[in-house]
Amino acid sequence: MQGELSKKLFEAAKAVIPGGVNSPVRAFRNVDGDPFFVRRAKGCRIEDVDGRSLIDHIGTWGPAILGHAPTVITNTVHEVAKNGLSFGIPNPFEVEMAKVVCEWVPSVEKVRMVNSGTEATMSAIRLARGFTGRDKIIKFEGHYHGHVDSLLVAAGSGALTHGEPDSAGIPRSFAAETITLPFNHPERIEEVFARCGHEIAAIILEPYPANAGFVFPHAGYLELLRELSSEYGALLIFDEVMTGFRLARGGVQELSGITPDLCALGKVIGGGLPVGAFGGRGDIMDHLAPDGPVYQAGTLSGNPVAMAAGLAQLRELEKQNGYQRLEEIGQRFEDGVQSLIREKGLPYRFNRAGSMWCLYFGDSEIVNVDSVKQGDFGAFRKFFWACLERGIYLAPSPYETGFLSLAHTESDIDETLEVFAECLT
């Protein structure tokens, strides 16, 4: 499916960029192919360098909640950039963004801006360890928190088995303080806390895991994590880099009513520019330098252009009553996909909340990453390429979540469903 210009660019890229890409999933290896290159994007459509137009269901992996290149953001970036791209000195936009985050997100009394989701989770973990004086961290299989050494860890064989590094270049000693557990198995985390609860600094999780498909916690599971962490003096950290400001103003925290001690944020609050943030209880955040002993810094943190772009996006979401609209088009899409599955008698499942969704090529209950691994990846690859050939761009991996935007119209949804009807077998 590569056009001639994309082929030439990919060959050139492989000579100077590892694997030819700057993030592994872009290499299309999960679908046994090679990537195309994009030259422009507008609304819900992307155009590749060979002139092909596609309806995009990725939205730059989440940030493009208004769609690509919305005028309100591009105009803002243009105006703010005229006064300078970066200062390395405090600017008014970062104060305004912090106020909005504290107002919208239930857990956040104070927030610090960073430049990526990886920085946000890394800093939240360091802060949790510094605040509690403990070293051990609990994470869950299939929950991705960026490429932080102590969090890029594969599962052990049992509830109390410490992790092995999931990448070369990570010392085992780094991973040794990370306990990796299966998601949605309450008895396993109860066992861990009973054995070593007073050694645990924090639990970190995606409250709605969105890097191994799109998974929902069982009823009472988030409540259990909140209860256990509070009982044993550990911190609860929600990684809402993907779900924050995407599913609701306050993310999963707002939807679930569960308030973590710290949370990691990103994507939507940058308006498409590099951004991250972490925040939470004021007494915990006050342990950060310069007030406290936990060091964290960043030259481009609170970048004025990124802050202004993010503020413009959040305000436009409010102006358009965006979350209600996203739920409406999300429901239209879900109804259509579920109808196709029933009509064709396919053993597939579809999960959705708001503007996030995932289609699973299998009929197992989706509980955690192990459930996702049971899917028919061959069927997924066939479906991916068939959709791409017909003008629909989906994530090139069965482990990724899809995203809708305010730029997707009813006709865009219906066009996607027509293609799905042709390609689902």
Least confident among 14-28, 115-129, 165-179 = 165-179
- Say which DSSP state 179 is in: E
- Which burial class, exposed, middle or buried, applies to 148 when counting CB atoms under 10 A from its CB (0-12, 13-18, 19+)? buried
Question: Could you give the residue range(s) of every CATH 3.90.1150.10 domain in the chain?
Answer: 4-69+321-423
What is the tens place of the pLDDT at every residue in 338-367?
A: 999 999 999 999 999 999 999 999 998 999
Q: Which residues pair with 358 in a beta bridge?
A: 351
pLDDT of residue 146: 87
Amino acid at 367: V
Query: Predicted confidence band at 161 (pLDDT cuts at 50, 70, 90)?
Result: very low
DSSP-derived secondary structure letter, 161: P
CATH topology of domain 71-318: Aspartate Aminotransferase; domain 2 (3.40.640)
Polymer length of the chain: 425
Q: What is the pLDDT of residues 103-114, one digit of tens each?
A: 999 999 999 999
Contact residues for 213 (Cβ-Cβ < 8 A; gap 6+): 351, 358, 360, 366, 369, 372, 398, 399, 400, 401
Cα 265 to Cα 67: distance, rounded to the nearest angstrom: 19
pLDDT at 155: 32
Evaluate if residue 157 carries a pLDDT over 60.
no
Residues 324-338: tens digit of each pLDDT? 999 999 999 999 999
Of all residues in the chain, what percent carry a pLDDT higher than 70? 96
What local confidence, expressed as pLDDT, does residue 312 receive? Answer: 98
Average pLDDT on 213-229 reads 97
Banded model confidence at residue 311, pLDDT cuts 50, 70, 90: very high
Give me the pLDDT at residue 367, please.
92
Sequence-distant (6+) residues with CB within 8 A of 34 are 2, 6, 7, 10, 27, 28
Confidence (pLDDT) at 322: 97
pLDDT at 160 over 80: no
Rg (CA), the chain: 21
pTM of the model: 0.94
Question: What is the average per-residue pLDDT within 108-133?
Answer: 97
**pLDDT value of position 352:** 98
394 in Cβ contact with 388 (< 8 Å): yes
**Res 166 pLDDT > 70:** no
pLDDT of residue 151: 76
For 260-278, write each residue's pLDDT tens digit: 999 999 999 999 999 999 9
Strands 164-165 and 153-154: antiparallel
Confidence of residue 162 (pLDDT cuts 50, 70, 90): very low
Under the banding of pLDDT at 50, 70 and 90, the label for residue 219 is very high
Decide if 333 contacts 340 (C-beta within 8 A). no
Tens-place pLDDT, residues 366-385: 999 998 888 999 999 999 99
SS3 356: strand
- pLDDT score, position 306: 98
- CB burial readout 213-244, b (16+ within 10 A) else e: bbbbbeeebbeebbebbeebebbbbbbbbbbb
- Whether residue 150 has pLDDT greater than 80: no
- Determine phi and psi for 369, rounding to 5 degrees: -65, -30
The pLDDT value given to residue 173: 73
Q: What is the mean pLDDT of residues 386-402?
A: 95
pLDDT bucket at 71, cuts 50 / 70 / 90: very high
Q: Cα–Cα distance between 91 and 376 in angstroms, integer?
A: 50
Cis peptide bond N-terminal to 290, omega within 30? yes
252 forms beta bridges with none
DSSP symbol at 148 = -
- CA dist., res. 278 & res. 115, Å (int): 11
pLDDT for 153: 66
Q: Residue 107: count other Cβ atoms within 10 Å of its Cβ.
A: 22
Backbone torsion region of residue 154, taken as left when φ is above 0, otherwise alpha when ψ lies between -120 and 50, otherwise beta: beta
Burial class (CB in 10 A: 0-12, 13-18, 19+), 74: middle
The per-residue pLDDT of the chain, averaged, comes to 94
CATH 3.40.640.10: which residues of the chain? 71-318
Query: Exposed e or buried b for every residue in 307-323, given b needs 16+ CB within 10 A?
Result: bbbbbbbbebbeeeebb
Which residue bears the tokens 């989701």?
117
Q: Give the model's pLDDT for residue 176.
A: 79
Q: Which pLDDT value is given to residue 163?
A: 45
Contact between 92 and 306 (Cβ < 8 Å): no
Average pLDDT over residues 233-237: 98
Q: What is the dihedral of CA 230, 212, 298, 92, to 10 degrees?
A: -80
Residues annotated as catalytic (active site), given as ranges? 144, 239, 267
Checking if the pLDDT of 159 tops 60, the result is no
With CA atoms as reference, report the closest residue to 309 among 65, 35, 57, 61: 65
pLDDT in tens, 406-415: 999 999 999 9
- Yes or no: is domain 4-69+321-423 CATH 3.90.1150.10? yes
